[in-house]
Homo-oligomer: A and B are copies of this chain.
Amino acid sequence: MTTRIIAVDVHDVRFPTAADADGSDAINRGDYSATYVELRTEAGPTGAGLTFTNGRGNELTVGAVKALAHHVEGRTVEEIFAEPVTFWRSLTADPQLRWLGPEKGVIHMAAGAVVNAVWDLRARLADRPLWQLLAEMSADELVAAVDFRHIGDAITPAEAHAILSEGEKGLDERLELLRTEGFPAYTTSVGWLGYPDDKVRALTRQAVAEGWRAVKMKVGGPIEDDVRRAAIIREEIGPDALLMMDANQVWDVDEAVSNMERLAPYDPYWIEEPTHADDVLGHARVARAVAPVRVATGEVAANRVIFKQLLQASAIGVCQVDACRVGGVNEVLSILLMAAKFGVPVCPHAGGVGLCEYVQHLAIFDYLRVGRSLDGRMIEYVDHLHEHFTDPVRVENGRYHLPEQPGYSVAMRPESVARFGFPDGPAWR
């Protein structure tokens, strides 16, 4: 029995979030949106994937999915997973479309949505949540899913195999711990740049009451404002809770170093995106200057080659891989493996639309099979837009529960897709 993909449906779904400054930071402000992909099969289940965008321009990732669809339509899930790197390259190294990236931006995000939909479909066929499907795969099969081209100088297939084999040991105990305690999380909902001080204080107080012991604030506005807000949040969370800061790339390298001197009194745990996402050498300089504060980045790190360099250059102390910025599960696997080899904890980027739903699977698999430690590991949590998913995340007392339904958890409710469809859905008319 094989499952053939007969059509790729793609939806432009946008939520009008710009008006109330939810999700606003030093450089982005928009209507949280999704390029939502459904792989239709003849008799079987539908595979769901998405990429997150910030509103205008979502039609471009929609268009890019359409441009890639012919690589998927008519193929069977079994064929695809018999030669996973060949399939992955058909999307990411298409001899005409590659020029548009290469392996970055619109075309790569679209490839990621398609790749993730294929993995979702496979997990549904196996009747398992994605994290479980991955955790039960053999080291051979996982290694075969990774494209080592252009990262061979950082990790070899043999090294990856050794990490994954080692990860089989003690897996049951780690799983039991997650079932009992959940996966640690932190919240970003307290300190968006658009929020006034009293709202920041009230939200922080509420977060502490809800059990959060790690919170993140946005910085990158006028430094005096950042300092004042940091003081408010630190005052509310007390000295022992973790305070992360996120500059969303707005600073120059030297500016990042001097601003972090100003913010140091509030004991930041990490500084996220201190400067331009492409600046590996700049991140390395900031990392040396702000230690022991960690540098974190990844949400717009375009691909495995950028992550490879961030790790090689000791530029990051926290790896914030995103589920849909890079080319889907296959490329995320390569990044988790490199992070493990270089000893850097993975704390995936989330928020947006469906990112929490996605990345919980990655963090759980990483703990079970790759990184094998919870030390310094947290999944970002933002309490936005979960109601639009059929299998939303469940977060309590600052911890994610294990997802239990089959798949990759980003299937959207048909009524949400219809209502927020752009530009013709009732929410936009």
In the complex with contacts A60-B67, A63-B60, A278-B306, A27-B98 CB distance below 8 A: yes
Given contacts A60-B100, A279-B309, A302-B104, contact A95 B54 (CB under 8 A): yes
A330 within 8 A of B: no
A429 in contact (CB, < 8 A): no
A161 touches B (CB below 8 Å): no
Given A106-B106, A106-B107, A150-B252; 8 other pairs, CB 8 A cutoff: A18-B96, A54-B99, A57-B100, A60-B67, A102-B249, A280-B281, A280-B309, A281-B309
Check A98–B28 contact: CB distance below 8 A: yes
Contact A153 B100 (CB under 8 A): no
B contact residues around A101 at 8 Å (CB):
104-105
**Contacts A57-B64, A60-B60, A150-B275 known; A27 to B104 CB distance under 8 Å?**
no
A122 to chain B, nearest CB (A): 27
At the interface, yes or no: A61 with Cβ under 8 Å from chain B?
yes
- With a 10 A CB-CB cut-off, give which of A56, A152, A302 has the most chain B CB atoms: A56
Give chain A interface residues in 309-357, CB to chain B under 8 Å.
Answer: 309, 312-313
Q: How many copies does the complex hold?
A: 2
**Bound-state Cα–Cα, A252 to B308, Å:** 13
Q: Which residues of B contact A300 (CB under 8 A)?
A: 99, 102
* Complex: A313 Cα to B358 Cα, angstroms: 36
User: Known contacts being A60-B64, A104-B302, A106-B60, is A93 close to B27, with CB within 8 Å?
Assistant: yes
Q: Inside 8 A of A216's CB, which chain B residues have their CB? A: none
CB-CB < 8 A to A150: which residues of B? 252-253, 275-276, 279, 282
Inter-chain contact A59/B54, CB cutoff 8 Å: no
Given A63-B59, A93-B27, A107-B60, A53-B99 contact (CB < 8 Å): yes
The distance in angstroms between the C-alpha atoms of A279 and B361, with both chains bound, is: 29
CB closest residue in chain B, given A253: B153
Give Cα A84–Cα B277 distance, bound, in whole angstroms. 24
A29 within 8 Å of B (CB atoms): yes
Does A46 lie at the interface of the complex (its beta carbon under 8 Å from any beta carbon of B)? no
Quick one: given A67-B59, A96-B30, are A278 and B253 in contact (CB under 8 Å)? no
Check if A254 is an interface residue, CB within 8 A of chain B: yes
Does A224 count as interface, using CB distance less than 8 angstroms?
no
Which residues of the partner chain B approach A281 to less than 8 Å between Cβ atoms?
280, 309, 312-313
A31 within 8 Å of B (CB atoms):
yes
Q: How far is the CA of A102 from the CA of B279 in the complex (A)?
A: 12
Partner of A277, one of B30, B60, B102, B106: B102
The residues in A between 230 and 249 inclusive whose CB is less than 8 angstroms from any CB of B are: 249
Q: Given A60-B60, A97-B56, A303-B278: A104 and B104 within 8 A (CB)?
A: yes
When distances are taken between beta carbons in the complex, the residues of chain B under 8 Å from A278 are 103-104, 278, 302-303, 305-306, 309
